[in-house]
Amino acid sequence: MGYAALLLDPTLRGVILATTIGLMLLEYGIGHLAHRETHDWRESMASFGVALGQNILRAVEAGLLAVPFAFLYEHRLLDFAQTSPLALVGLFLGSEFLYYWQHRASHRIRWMWATHAVHHSTTRLNLTAAIRLGWTGNISGNFLFFLPLALIGFHPLAIVAMLGINLLYQFFIHSGFAPRLGVLEWVLNTPSHHRVHHACNEPCLDKNYGGILIVFDRLFGTFAERPSDQPLRFGLVGRTPSFNPVRIALGEWVAMLGDAWRARGAGAKLRALFGPPGAR
C-alpha cells in the first residue's frame, strides 16, 4: 500500500504545514490591506493552542483507534483492488456520505456537540478557525461512523487518507475572501456554503453539513443559502468567547455534565447528555 508512505512522509507533512501557515499569513495580510477585521489575534493564538493539543492527542490515540478498523478489515465482506478507479470513487462517495451523517449528528446530539462546539467557537471565520478542532472526538464516537467502510473492505489506511483529503479541502473553505464558484456551488461545499454553516444566525443553524460535496445536504433537506436580509454572525449561541485553549476544548463538556448532574430523573439526565444542544 502507498497510503502509509503518504501519511508518514515527513517532507510532505512539512510542506503542508508550511503552506498552511503561509496561506494564513497571506489571508491576514489581505485583510489588513483591505481594512477588514478578519482576525482577532487572541482568538487566532487560542486556535493554535487548541490545534497543538488536538494533534498531540491524535498521535497518542492513533494506535488504539486502529484496533476496531483493523479488526473489521480482517473480517471484511469484500476483496477488491484498493486503487482501482471504481474502488476510489466508492471510497470517496462512501466517506462523504458517512461524513455528512457524522457531522449532522455532531450538531444534533449533545454528547457529540461537546467536541464539535470547539470548531464553532470562533467569532471570526478565517483560516485559523479551520485548525480549531476538538480534543475529544473519539470519546464522542466520531470514528464509529466510518467503521462500515472497513467492514465493506476498504483498507484502514485508505480510509484515513480519504478523510485526510476531506479535512484538507475543508481548510480552504474557511476563508472569508473566497468568491462564489458559479455552477460548482451546486455540487461542492464552497466557502459561501461553509460561511452559512458556521454562522449562528437562526436561518443558518444546523445547515450545510457536507465535507467536499454539498449534494447530500440538498438531498436530505439541510441546505441553506446565505440570508439576504442580515449580516452573518459567528460563535456559539449563549456562550461567552474564551481565549483559553483548555477552556475552549473542554468547556462544553463541563456545561453538559453540569446540566446532567442538575437534571432531575433519568429521562432528563439522558436528554442533557444525548438530546439536541440546548435541550433540558
Label each residue of 2-58 as H, E or C.
Answer: CHHHHHHCHHHHHHHHHHHHHHHHHHHHHHHHCCCCCCCHHHHHHHHHHHHHHHHHH
Tell me whether residue 112 is in a domain. Answer: yes
pLDDT of res. 63? 86
Tell me whether residue 224 is in a domain. Answer: yes
pLDDT band at 2 (very low <50, low <70, confident <90, very high): very low
Tell me whether residue 279 is in a domain. Answer: no
CA distances to 46, 54, 72, 238, 249 from 244, in Å: 6, 14, 39, 18, 9
- Tens of pLDDT, residue by residue over 7-30, are 455 676 677 778 888 888 888 888
Question: What does the alpha-carbon distance between residue 158 and residue 5 come to, in Å, rounded to a whole number?
Answer: 11
SS3 131: helix
pLDDT of res. 138? 93
Q: How far apart are the first and last CA of the chain?
A: 49
pLDDT, mean of residues 232-259: 94
The percent of residues in the chain predicted with pLDDT above 70, rounded, is 95
SS3 234: strand
Tell me whether residue 280 is in a domain. Answer: no
pLDDT of res. 10? 65
Range of the domain at 140: 3-274
Tell me whether residue 13 is in a domain. Answer: yes
Number of domains into which the chain is organized: 1
